[in-house]
Amino acid sequence: MAASRFLSTHAQPTLAQLRALIAVVDAGGFGEAAAELNASQSSLSEAVGKLEDLTGRPLLRRSARGTVPTPAGLRAVAHARAAVQAAGDVLLAAQDDGELSGVLRVSSFRSAAAHLLPPVLAAFRRQHPAVTVRVLDGDRHRGQAGEQQVRSGQADIAFVESTEALGLRLTFLLQDDYLFIAPESRGPHPVTVEELATSPLLLSPRGDACHQRIETYLHGLGIDTSRATELDQDSVILGMIRHGLGVTVMPRLALLPVPDGLVLVPLPKPLTRTMAVAALPHRAGLPLIRAFTAALVDSLGDSLGAWPPDGADHSGAPI
């Protein structure tokens, strides 16, 4: 067997090589990665090639979907992300709390991005102008994208709708009630299971976590949701309801500020979601992540009322 087929015990990959592998995997091709990094395709190809020489096997292959990792590449890129992240964390860990800088990647689902993040971002920018906060889409994969992005190193923290997340540290924020929403002309009288079952339902798309939670709840009441109309935008759903075209079930946070022409009524049986912010346990104490989490909890305490009431972290791990 050729010597190149054996994993070297002396040579080690460089961070540049690891970053090149990550960039190509995330972008789906060398050209796309080069454009995102403002680098040349040849430099990325050379970096990945040297990494493949060190491992003695191909890490990427071309397919109909672009450039994708081989099985060895999938294993390698997970450790590449951890290594690059750890190298950056050396610098983050050495920062003083009052002089923070760098990039913080926050994964958020739609309602949190619309109603929780803006005041936090504004206050955080005033206090830490040298920090750039990037907001990532956390609505995909039935709301699990945020957790996956944190675990993979693509996000530093994420809003999640959960009381537990395997391998992640959760700081609980609040509990959000789901409500029945109908045209104002209906009046504020209690909603019945029969009304829910017979009214034209307007729901968020089937692929997101909110739809899944509502569908499970309604099925538990014996209500068939197969004829529900699915719409991407909350504003479209609420606009149609104002004109008497249906009803919906939606979390309170997604309604803020409450539009005119609607009536909000508690459901026949309570349905709530627990909202928290998640980080990897060994990274939760980094000054940048700790400061943003604290700013988020403080903002909720001032506006919505933090849950638990004291705004504390109840994950059992010290910050």
Beta bridge partners of 230: 203
Are 158 and 295 members of one domain?
yes
Whether residue 318 lies inside any domain: the answer is no
Cα 61 to Cα 32, 43, 71, 132: the distances in Å are 15, 17, 10, 34
pLDDT higher than threshold 70 for residue 115: yes
Tokens of 88: 């950056």
Q: CB of 157 within 8 A of CB of 146?
A: no
Q: Is 138 found in the same domain as 246?
A: no
Rounded Cα distance, 219 and 204, in Å: 16
Residues 291/301, Cβ–Cβ less than 8 Å: no
Say how many domains are in the chain: 3
Residues of the domain holding 81: 10-90
CA–CA separation, 194 and 48 (whole Å): 61
Query: Both 186 and 262 in a single domain?
Result: yes
The Cα 34–Cα 42 span in angstroms is 9
Quote the radius of gyration of the chain (alpha carbons, Å): 24
1 falls within a domain: no
Query: What is the pTM for the complete model shown?
Result: 0.75
229-230 and 169-183 as β-strands: parallel, antiparallel, unpaired? unpaired
Establish if 194 belongs to a structural domain.
yes
* Integer Cα distance of 109 and 183 in angstroms: 26
Same-domain check for residues 205 and 165: no
Token pair of 310, please? 């004291």
Cα gap 128→133, rounded to integer Å: 10
Is the domain of 101 the same as that of 182?
Answer: no
pLDDT of residue 3: 43
CATH label of the domain that carries residue 249: 3.40.190.10
In the predicted structure, residue 305 carries a pLDDT above the cut 80: no
**CATH label of the domain that carries residue 49:** 1.10.10.10
Query: What was the pLDDT predicted at 59?
Result: 96
What is the number of alpha carbons within 13 Å of residue 86 lying toward its C-beta? 9
Confirm whether 4 is domain-assigned.
Answer: no
Could you tell me which residue, 22 or 164, shows the higher pLDDT? 22
Condensed to tens digits (0 to 9), the pLDDT of residues 119-156 reads 999 999 999 999 999 999 876 544 458 888 998 888 99
